[in-house]
Amino acid sequence: MSRSELAHLELLAEVDALVGRLNRWADDAPDWRPAEKCRALVRRLVDRAGSLRVRLEAPLVVATLGGTGAGKSALLNALLGAEVLRTGRSRPTTTRPTLVCRPDITPEMLGIDPAVVELIHRDLPALRNLVLVDCPDPDTTEEESLPSPFGRGAGGEGDNLSPKNVLSPRLPSPAPGNSNLARLRAILPHCDVLLVVATQQKYRSARVADELTAAARGARVVFVQTHADLDADVRDDWRQALGWNGSCTAIPGGDSATVAPTENPGHIFLVDSLSALDDARAGRQPRGEFADLLDLLTRRMAGAAANRIRRANFLDLMADTLDSCRRRIEEALPSVQKTQEAVEERRGLMARRIAARMQTELLTNRRQWENRLLGQAASRWGLSPFSLVLRIYQGLGGLLSGGLLYRTRTPAQMALWGAMEGTRTWRRWRRNRRAERGADRAAADAWDHAELRKAAIIVDGYVAEAGLDRRATRPDAVAAEAETAAAGFVARASADLESLVARLARRHTGWFTRWRYELMLAAMLGLILFRLGKNFFYDSWLATPRAPVSGLDFYLSAGFWLVLWCLLLLWAFCSRLRRGLRGAVASLAVDWQDPSSAAGLFAGVEEECRRVERFHRELEAMRSDVERLRRQVEKGEG
C-alpha cells in the first residue's frame, strides 16, 4: 500500500470517527432548548460530511460566485481554455448551475443532485483534476427581497461594507425550491473552492456576501477581480472591506468571525479573462496573475492536495459548528448552574428541618435510647461486681415481677399477676417501637406538603428559565421524590443511630472507665467486709474486753449504705451515658443538616443539570480534538 493510499484511508477513518462521535453526542443531547438547536446544527454538519465522504474520490470542485456581469462564465472559459459557457456583460446568462467535467464524471459522484444542474461533458486537459461549476447570479435571479447584512437593500454598489459587517451573521432566507437561487444554495455546499468574482462596480454586492456567508464555511475562498482590461484596480479597497490582516481571509459567519485561510493569503487575483482565453486558443502560455490563478487551481489545490483541502474544509466547518454550539450552551449554562444552586438550597432547608425534627424526637425518647445504650454497655462490660449492679438495675422490673409471682397463692392472684406483666411488657414494647420508629415519623412529618409545593414552585421557576424539562417539577413527581428521599434518610438515620449507640457503648466501657467504677464499688465492699471480719475475728475473739458479734441492725445498715453507694455509682454512670448521648445526638443532627440528607429530592432536575454538564464537557473534548486535527492538517501531517 502506497503512502498516499494510507493517508487516504486515514482520512476516511478520521471523517467516519468524527461523524460517529458527533452523531452520538447529538443523540445523547438532553431535553434542553440550546441542546435542541445544537442537535439541528450537528445534523446539518453530518449531512455535509456525507457529501464530503462521497467526494473523496472525485476531482476538486471549483465554483464561481459573483454578481451579474462580473465575468464568471468568461473566467471559467479561460480556465478551460475553450469557449464552453455562454458569456454576457450586461445581463445574466447563467440561470442554472452549470457543471463542466470529464465524460467519466457524473453529478452523483460529487454528491450533487442531477436535477439542480445543467451538465456539460468535455474532454479537456484543464478538467483532468478539476470540476468547474458556473453558478447563477445571486443578485438578479430572485424577485424576493432578502435581508441585507449591511443595513440596506440587497445588491447595491453603495452598500456599506465595513470589517465588522462584511458578511451577515444570519444565513439568508431560503428561496423557493424551484428557483435559481435555491439551486445555487443547493450546490454551493458541495464545492471545495469558491472563486468569488467581482468587478470594479460589483465588489460590494450585499447579495453575493449573503450567499458567501452560507457557503464559505467548509470551503476554500479565492477572490478574483475581472475586467482587468477595462476597470481600475480596486483590490486594496476590497481587502479593507473584507477585513484582511495580511495573513488570512476573514469570513465572518454564523455567530462570530471564522478565519478561512487561502492558498495565497491576503491576495486577490486581477485577471483579464478574454485575453487569457485568446492566449489559450492561440497556444500561448498563460501570463500574469491568470497564470498564478491557474497554477493555484490545477497544481497546488488539485490532485493529491484536494483531499487535504476537503479534510481542512470539513474540520473548519466542524470547528465553526462546534464553536456555535459552545456559544449557545455557554450563554444558557449560568441558568442551569442557578438551577443547581436552587436545588441545593431547597435541599439544605429540608435537611435542616429534618435534622431539627429528628433531634427533638430523639431527645423526647431519650429514656428508651439510654436503656438501649445501658444494655449494650452492660453486655460489653463482662462479668464483674459493677456489671452485676448494671444488670440488676436493668432487670429490676423483671426481678420485682418474679418476686410477685413467687408470692402468688390463688388463681385470682395469678391472673392479676399475668395482667400486670402483660401490660408492663406491652408498654415496654410500645416504648421501644416508638423509639425505633421515631426517625420514620420525624422524616415523614418533615415533608410538609405546603413546604414541598413552595420548593417545587421555586425550583420550577429556575427550570423554566434554564429551558430544562419541567416534568421533573410536577407535584406528583416531587411527591414521589420526597417519599424516596424520606426513605433514604430513614435508612441513613437508622444506621447512624445504631452506629452511635455502638460507638458510645465502646467509649463508656473502656478499661479506664471500668476500673474506676469497679474500684469504687470494691472499696465499699471491702470496707463492709473489713468491718464484718474485724468484728467476728478480732473484736469477739481476741480483743480485751471482747465485743459482741454484730447483729441484724449492722447488716441492715451495711446493706443500706451498700445500696446507696451502688445507686450513687449508677447515677454517675448513667449521667455520663446521658451526657454522651445528648452530645452525640447534637453532633449527628449537625451532620444531618447537610443537603445530602435530602439527596433524593428534585433528583430529576439534578439529573437533567448533570446531563447538560456532561453534554458541555463532551463538546469541549470534541473541540479540542478538532483543533488538534486542524493543527496537524496545517503542518501537513497525514
CATH number for the domain including 152?
3.40.50.300
C-alpha to C-alpha distance for 449 and 452, rounded to whole angstroms: 5
- 149 within some domain: yes
- 4 within some domain: no
**Does 392 share its domain with 434?**
yes
3 state SS of 252: strand
Intervals of the chain under pLDDT 50: 141-176, 245-265, 397-399, 637-638
How big is the chain by its Cα radius of gyration, in Å? 46
Number of domains in the chain: 2
pLDDT of residue 244: 54
User: Mind listing the pLDDT tens digit for each residue in 206-260?
Assistant: 667 767 766 666 678 889 988 888 888 888 888 777 765 433 333 333 333 333 4
**Does 522 share its domain with 609?**
yes
What letter does residue 131 receive in the DSSP assignment? Answer: E
- 211 within some domain: yes
C-alpha to C-alpha distance for 448 and 489, rounded to whole angstroms: 15
3 state SS of 56: coil
- 627 within some domain: no
Count Cα neighbours of 329 within 13 Å in the Cβ-side half-sphere.
25
Nearest to 249 by CA among 196, 202, 172: 196
pLDDT of residue 543: 80
- Residue pair 305/263 in contact (Cβ under 8 Å)? The answer is no
DSSP for 388-456, please give it: HHHHHHHTHHHHHHHHHHHH--SHHHHHHHHHHHHHHHHHHHHHHHHHHTHHHHHHHHHS-HHHHHHHH
**Does 400 share its domain with 505?**
yes
**Does 278 share its domain with 410?**
no
- 539 within some domain: yes
3 state SS of 257: strand
**Does 385 share its domain with 295?**
no
C-alpha cell at 339: 438551577
C-alpha to C-alpha distance for 377 and 23, rounded to whole angstroms: 63
Nearest to 30 by CA among 607, 476, 628, 629: 607
Largest Cα–Cα distance in the chain?
161
* Residues found in the chain: 638
**Does 287 share its domain with 356?**
no
pLDDT of residue 132: 93
Beta bridge partners of 198: 225
- Residue pair 34/331 in contact (Cβ under 8 Å)? The answer is yes
- Torsion angle of the four alpha carbons 17, 19, 20, 23, in this order, in degrees rounded to the nearest 10: 160
Residue 120 phi, psi (nearest 5)? -125, 120
- 425 within some domain: yes
C-alpha to C-alpha distance for 69 and 136, rounded to whole angstroms: 11
pLDDT of residue 614: 93
Nearest to 309 by CA among 355, 262, 245, 270: 262
C-alpha cell at 590: 449537625
Using omega within 30 degrees of 0 as the cis cutoff, is the peptide bond preceding 147 cis? no
C-alpha to C-alpha distance for 184 and 189, rounded to whole angstroms: 9
- 9 within some domain: no
C-alpha cell at 177: 425550491
Q: Which residues of 401-438 are buried (b: 16+ CB within 10 A; e: fewer)?
A: beeeeeeeeeeeeeeeeeeebeeeeeeeeeeeeebeeb
Please give the residue range of the domain that contains residue 262.
60-302
Cell 453534554, located at residue? 615
C-alpha to C-alpha distance for 321 and 623, rounded to whole angstroms: 10
**Strands (DSSP E) found in 153-286:** 193-198, 220-225, 250-253, 256-259, 269-270
pLDDT of residue 338: 92
C-alpha cell at 26: 447529538
**Does 411 share its domain with 276?**
no
Nearest to 439 by CA among 478, 484, 496, 479: 496
Beta bridge partners of 608: none
User: Mind listing the pLDDT tens digit for each residue in 136-189?
Assistant: 877 654 444 333 332 333 333 333 333 333 333 333 334 445 676 777 778 888
Residue 346 phi, psi (nearest 5)? -65, -40
**Does 423 share its domain with 494?**
yes
**Does 73 share its domain with 114?**
yes
C-alpha to C-alpha distance for 105 and 178, rounded to whole angstroms: 25
**Does 287 share its domain with 400?**
no
**Does 158 share its domain with 289?**
yes
**Does 366 share its domain with 246?**
no
Count Cα neighbours of 492 within 13 Å in the Cβ-side half-sphere.
22
DSSP for 493-530, please give it: HHHHHHHHHHHHHHHTTSHHHHHHHHHHHHHHHHHHHH
- 523 within some domain: yes
Contacts of 292 (CB under 8 A, 6+ apart): 264, 269
